[in-house]
């Protein structure tokens, strides 16, 4: 019985953890997170990362091109740590925000809270997920600017 409880508790913990491994790769941080939030590799699957890294010279409209060596090293890091499962299911686009799971999790947020200048984009994780840089997206750590906690 105790064992069963423990397993259940562990299972629940896992389901609500909402965490991904932090992006602790110095090269990835330097080359990618100098312009935007350092999205953790687990937020996209392998097919998505291959698309992203295959066209850095037109990266969402801007030139984010890298040297061949750096590009290969970063792709390798991303593929090694790419996501699978519910977060990336049915999303092989280049956008984390196109994942059905992501859309479901964010569906109740009023547009005006996203459009306000403190956030400005649904892709700006750290604006509301205060521990996003550590890979922790738990609801408890959400503070939406000009709104407050989201629980």
Q: Is 60 in the site for another protein (CB under 8 A)?
A: yes
| Residue from the set 3, 4, 15, 61 that interacts with another protein by CB under 8 A | 61
Q: Kindly state the tokens that stand for 132.
A: 């996003």
Window 89-128: residues binding another protein (CB under 8 A): 120-121, 123-124
The Cα 139–Cα 130 span in angstroms is: 10
Q: Kindly state the tokens that stand for 49.
A: 């990362």
Q: Is 37 in the site for another protein (CB under 8 A)?
A: yes
The Cα 101–Cα 93 span in angstroms is: 13
3-class secondary structure, 143: strand
Closest CA to 77 of 126, 134, 28: 28
Beta bridge partners of 149: 143
Q: Is 65 in the site for another protein (CB under 8 A)?
A: yes
For another protein (CB under 8 A), the number of binding residues is: 18
The Cα 80–Cα 46 span in angstroms is: 9
| Residue from the set 8, 27, 62, 138 that interacts with another protein by CB under 8 A | 62
Q: Is 29 in the site for another protein (CB under 8 A)?
A: no
| Residue from the set 3, 15, 26, 63 that interacts with another protein by CB under 8 A | 63
Query: Closest CB to another protein among 13 and 34?
Result: 34
Using the rule CB under 8 A, give the single segment among 2-10, 64-72, 86-94, 132-140 that binds another protein: 64-72
The answer to whether 52 touches 34, Cβ cutoff 8 Å, is no
Give residues in contact with another protein (CB under 8 A): 34-37, 57-58, 60-67, 120-121, 123-124
């Amino acid at each position: 019985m105790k064992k069963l409880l423990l397993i259940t508790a562990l299972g629940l913990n896992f389901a609500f953890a909402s965490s991904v491994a932090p992006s602790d790769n110095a090269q990835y941080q330097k080359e990618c997170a100098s312009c935007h939030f350092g999205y953790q590799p687990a937020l996209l699957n392998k097919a998505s990362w291959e698309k992203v890294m295959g066209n850095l010279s037109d990266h969402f409209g801007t030139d984010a091109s890298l040297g061949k060596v750096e590009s290969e090293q970063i792709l390798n890091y991303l593929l090694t740590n790419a996501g699978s499962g519910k977060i990336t299911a049915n999303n092989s686009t280049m956008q984390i925000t196109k994942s059905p799971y992501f859309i479901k999790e964010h569906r109740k947020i009023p547009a005006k809270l996203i459009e306000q200048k403190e956030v400005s984009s649904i892709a700006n994780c750290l604006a509301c997920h205060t521990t996003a840089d550590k890979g922790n997206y738990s609801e408890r750590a959400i503070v939406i600017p000009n709104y407050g906690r989201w629980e």
